[in-house]
Amino acid sequence: NYKLPPPCLANFCILTRDRTLFQSPEEGWQLYTSAQAPDGKCICTAVIPAQSTCSRDGRSRELRQLMEKVQNVSQSMEVLELRTYRDLQYVRGMETLMRSLDARLRAADGSLSAKSFQELKDRMTELLPLSSVLEQYKTDTRTVVRLREEVRNLSGSLAAIQEEMGAYGYEDLQQRVMALEARLHACAQKLGCGKLTGVSNPITVRAMGSRFGSWMTDTMAPSADSRVWYMDGYYKGRRVLEFRTLGDFIKGQNFIQHLLPQPWAGTGHVVYNGSLFYNKYQSNVVVKYHFRSRSVLVQRSLPGAGYNNTFPYSWGGFSDMDFMVDESGLWAVYTTNQNAGNIVVSRLDPHTLEVMRSWDTGYPKRSAGEAFMICGVLYVTNSHLAGAKVYFAYFTNTSSYEYTDVPFHNQYSHISMLDYNPRERALYTWNNGHQVLYNVTLFHVISTSGDP
């Protein structure tokens, strides 16, 4: 049931947003809770599923299946009616013929000329199809019995669903659900950015490829565009597979291949607004490759950036340069000799690849398992192995940092790629040959009046 939390009288409401990308059927409804904190603030929690929740609800699926059955029964009855009408006309014609034959036989009174006998024989030949028509009538009779049983079952199922749903009709209920979804997502938009407070259990999408690699969707694409890009390996690779949808990626079908003009290094690639950004092998060059034109639009060196396993993450793999996209744009994470091996975060112009601004985080890159950006904050894990957690956060808006303790389950014990997708509010991970997703929970304080 949809039930909004009671209104809070405090001036602020603390909300946590958990954007669930993949759900089981029982998770198909929004859940709302609220409580009054000791300091008078209203603490609200919203578990926000993906769009079109109603289409995944069990009752809705059952109703659609019943409607399809009703349509099938209706079509069967229409076919049966047409066939019965056609056969009835034929039987009526045969009835006239049989009466004529009966009259002639009675008039013959036991004697028939050869000509009359041949005429009667021809008439009898016309009656031969009557046998198959009568057999069809028998079959149609059985069909009517079956359809009547289906209608009886459908009526019972519909009555049960109506009783379960209560007084509301299906269309009315669906409209109410859509209105509540619209209110919920409007509220979610007001949340904007927030601080990472939790990472969900892993959701394994597929097991494909070698131990190292990367996979991603376009963070700037509209929600209807669910293409997936797949890049196996961490050095000297040039082949990029583009799958039409996430479902196609899971099934390994409907994909095209892009052959990059220069090989890549590492796994820190990102797709942003139709282009792939990656580190050219054995260099500190950033390459912007446009998928539609299949060409390199621009490439530029990152000044002083280490490469070729000079300053990789703890797992190695030529991971010197890592590109990321969050709500505010394109980022590069790397390090230089001048920064003594500490992580540098740079904001890049996506058109020219020029560095707009840089921050020295003070965190040694070789001690980091992986890193990702959310809302201008760099989050760093302390390991790429089992037991890893989000350990460090650097805030670019204030040029400050803090140590964190956000655990997450490293199911396959070797993460070689970890990136945040702001469109889906999910972490994409390559974990020992498995493509894995994590949902994230963000913490944000907004005014109850709706002004953040």
Q: Encode the chain (452 residues) as per-residue pLDDT tens digits.
A: 333 334 443 333 344 444 444 443 334 333 334 444 455 555 444 444 444 444 445 666 676 677 677 767 666 666 666 666 666 667 767 767 777 777 776 776 566 677 777 777 777 777 666 667 667 666 766 776 777 677 777 777 776 776 666 555 556 666 766 666 556 555 555 556 789 999 999 999 999 999 999 999 998 888 789 999 999 999 999 999 999 999 999 999 999 999 999 999 999 999 999 999 999 999 999 999 999 999 999 999 999 999 999 999 999 999 999 999 998 999 999 999 999 999 999 999 999 999 999 999 999 999 999 999 999 999 999 999 988 999 999 999 999 999 999 999 999 999 999 999 998 889 999 999 999 999 998 886 554 444 44
Question: Whole-angstrom Cα distance, residue 374 to residue 42?
Answer: 25
Which helix (H) or strand (E) is 418 found in, with range? strand 415-421
Question: Whole-angstrom Cα distance, residue 401 to residue 393?
Answer: 6
Contact 264, 296 (CB under 8 A): no
Q: Which two tokens stand for residue 7?
A: 């209104």
Say which residue the tokens 């070729």 belong to: 308
For residue 348, the one-letter residue type is L
Contact 48, 18 (CB under 8 A): yes
Range 222-225, long-range pairs (CB < 8 A, 24+ positions): 223/51, 223/423
SS3 126: helix
pLDDT at 71: 67
pTM of this prediction? 0.62
**Cα dist. 76→72, 143, 201, 234 in Å?**
6, 9, 48, 58
Contact 163, 416 (CB under 8 A): no
- Write the burial class of residue 429 (CB in 10 Å: 0-12 exposed, 13-18 middle, 19+ buried): buried
pLDDT at 451: 44
Which helix (H) or strand (E) is 435 found in, with range? strand 434-447
Contact 311, 364 (CB under 8 A): no
- Residue-level length of the chain: 452
pLDDT at 5: 39
Q: What is the 3-state secondary structure (H, E, C) of 362-406?
A: EEEHHHCCCEEEECCEEEEECCCCCCCEEEEEEECCCCEEEEEEE
